[in-house]
Structure 1
Amino acid sequence: MDLRIFTEPQQGASYETLLTVAKATEDLGFDAFFRSDHYLAMGSADGLPGPTDAWITLAGLARETRRIRLGTLMTAGTFRRPGILALQVAQVDQMSGGRVELGLGAGWFEEEHRAYGIPFPKERFGRLEEQLAIVTGMWGTPPGGTFDFEGTYYRLDGCPALPKPAQGKVPVLIGGHGAKRTPRLAAQYADEFNIPFASVEDSARQFGRVRAAAEEAGRKPEELVYSNALVVCVGRSDAEVARRAAAIGREVDELRANGLAGSPAEVVDKIGRYAAVGSSRIYLQILDLDDLDHLELIASQVQCRLD
């Protein structure tokens, strides 16, 4: 089981804080550092000191880390034109020496679009499908060639499709709970399918849909990686678990039901249940970015039992 660290910087984090967490991620032996792509805090968080841009952050981290994979869960398709996104991701991949992954979604948080003057079209899923075709098409265009595309929402004429990613093709993540269109898109474009904040039972159901869609598309279902994203709250004692839950404004019982919470042994056991339904990678949503002891505990008491 691969464990990856997943952060939500819109809730309040500077680049320096994210750099500290990314370096801890690397030093403690985790597989990757991922971040959300949002510009507005959610819930009761004040968002201070203000938002950071996902791909600017990852560009910086690409130069200041050496081993860990870097990526987004998920880049909002509404934030960037697909041709420019393909260029940006390829450039950051070059800056990292080939360690970048792209999670791409349709975009869903309407309030942040209003706050920053970003259009929030109704046909976001149709746009996402064309965006995936453009991004992967540009990366797959042979050097010296050009990429053309004419769809309902986007048109590219004579695009040089440069630069190219250092790793050839950047792994693409697609995720969500949708029963029909999401599995179809994953089967067509994804290297990894991720389901966020889902129970073991719902994960099994959605993984099954994606596997069926892959077979229908002529792909072997095992070609895809199947993963979960879950909030994590681990403690050496009940008091420590409660303290960490309170620090992120959550209840312990709710976290145990909907995430990975409790003692290291409890968390290892629940991860095993996700593994049993096909998950081979978990993105651990870390909401208190100042609690580096939490990361150390997970590395020493959870990750070591999964190797």
Structure 2
Amino acid sequence: MDLRIFTEPQQGASYDTLLAVAKATEDLGYDAFFRSDHYLKMGDGDGLPGPTDAWTTLAGLARETRRIRLGTLMTSATFRYPGVLAIQVAQVDAMSGGRVEFGFGAGWFEAEHAAYGIPFPDEKFARFEEQLAVLTGLWGTPAGETFNYVGKHYSLTDSPALPKPAQAKIPVIIGGLGAKRTPRLTARYADEFNIPFASIEDSAAQFARVRGAVKEAGRDPEELVYSNALIACVGSDDAEVARRAAVIGREVDELKANGLAGSPAEVVDKIGRYAETAGTSRIYLQMLDLSDLDHLEFIADKVMSQL
């Protein structure tokens, strides 16, 4: 079971804060540091000092870390043209020495688009599908050849498809609970399928749909990684769990029901049930209090050591 750290900087985090978390992620033996791609806070709080751009952040971290994988859950297809995004991701992959993983989603948070003057298209999923074709096409075009694409929303003519990523293939992560289109696109483009904040039962059902779509597409379902993103709130006793829950404005019972919360034994047991029942092999731990580096150390020592 891989454990990765997943942050939500739009809730309020500077680059320096993210750097501290990423370095702790690396030093403590976690597999990867991931972040969201949002420009506006959600829920309570003031969001200060304001948003940080996902790929600008990852470019900086690419030069300041050495081992951990770096990526997004999920880059929004509504924010960037696919040709520009292909260049950004390939460059960060080269800057990191080939450690980038590309989580990609259609985009959904309309308020952040209005706040920063970003168009919020009606046909988000159709654009998302075309972007997947363009991005993977650009990255996969052999050096010295050109890439052409004609779609409803995007057209590319004689693109040199440069720069090339450091990796022969950047891993693509697709996620969500869509019953038909999401599994179909996963089968065509993805190396990993991720479900955010879902129960063991819902995860098992969706993973089964994806496995079926992958098999129907002529691929081995075992080629894919099946992962969950779940909020983490772990402590040595009830008081510590309650303190950490209060800091992020959540109730302990709700966190235990919907995330990975409680004692190390409780959390290890629940991770085991995700693995056994749903087939999960990777978990992204959503860390909402980015100042609490002791939390990362505690999970590494008391939870990850048992996995």
Quick check: TM above 0.5? yes
- What residue is the counterpart of 1:194 in the other structure? 194
| 1:274 CA drift (Å) | 0.6
- In the alignment, structure 1 residue 234 sits paired with structure 2 residue 234: yes
CA shift digits 1:157-196 (9 cap, x unpaired): 0111001110111100000010110010001000000000
- Residues 247-287 of structure 1: CA deviation (Å, up to 9, x unaligned): 00000000000000000000000000111121100000000
Confirm or deny that 1:268 pairs with 2:268: yes
Give the letter for the 1:110 counterpart. Answer: E
Quick one: which amino acid aligns to residue 174 of structure 2? I
What's the counterpart of residue 129 of structure 1? 129
Aligned length: 306
- The residue type equivalent to 1:273 in the other structure is R
Q: C-alpha separation between the residues in 2 aligned to 1:174 and 1:117?
A: 26
What is the match of residue 291 of structure 1? 292
- 1:305 paired with 2:306, answer yes
Q: In 2, distance between residues paired with 1:160 and 1:285?
A: 38
The answer to whether the aligner puts 1:55 opposite 2:72 as a matched pair is no
Specify every segment of 5 or more residues in structure 2 that has no aligned partner in the other structure, as ranges: none
* Counterpart amino acid of residue 289 in structure 1: L
Using the size of structure 2 for normalisation, the TM-score is: 0.99
Stretches of 4+ aligned residues off by more than 6 angstroms:
none
C-alpha distance in structure 2 between counterparts of 1:219 and 1:120, whole Å: 34
Can you list the C-alpha shifts for 1:30-63, whole angstroms capped at 9, x where unaligned? 0000000000000012100110000000000000
Is there any run of 5+ residues in structure 1 with no aligned partner, and where? none
List aligned pairs for 1:80-99, cutoff 5 A. Answer: 80-99=80-99
Please give the residue correspondences for 1:142-291 in structure 2 after superposition, counting only pairs within 5 Å: 142-276=142-276, 277-291=278-292
2:141 & 2:158 partners in 1: Cα distance?
11
User: What's the TM-score, normalizing by structure 1?
Assistant: 0.99
- In 1: Cα distance, 2:205 partner to 2:83 partner: 34
Alpha-carbon RMSD across the aligned residues, in angstroms, is 0.4
In the alignment, the residues of structure 1 paired with residue 158 and residue 53 of structure 2 have an alpha-carbon distance, to the nearest angstrom, of 29
Aligned mates of 1:40, 1:210 — CA distance in 2: 31
Q: Secondary structure at the match of 1:284?
A: strand
Separation of aligned partners in 2, 1:189 and 1:83:
17
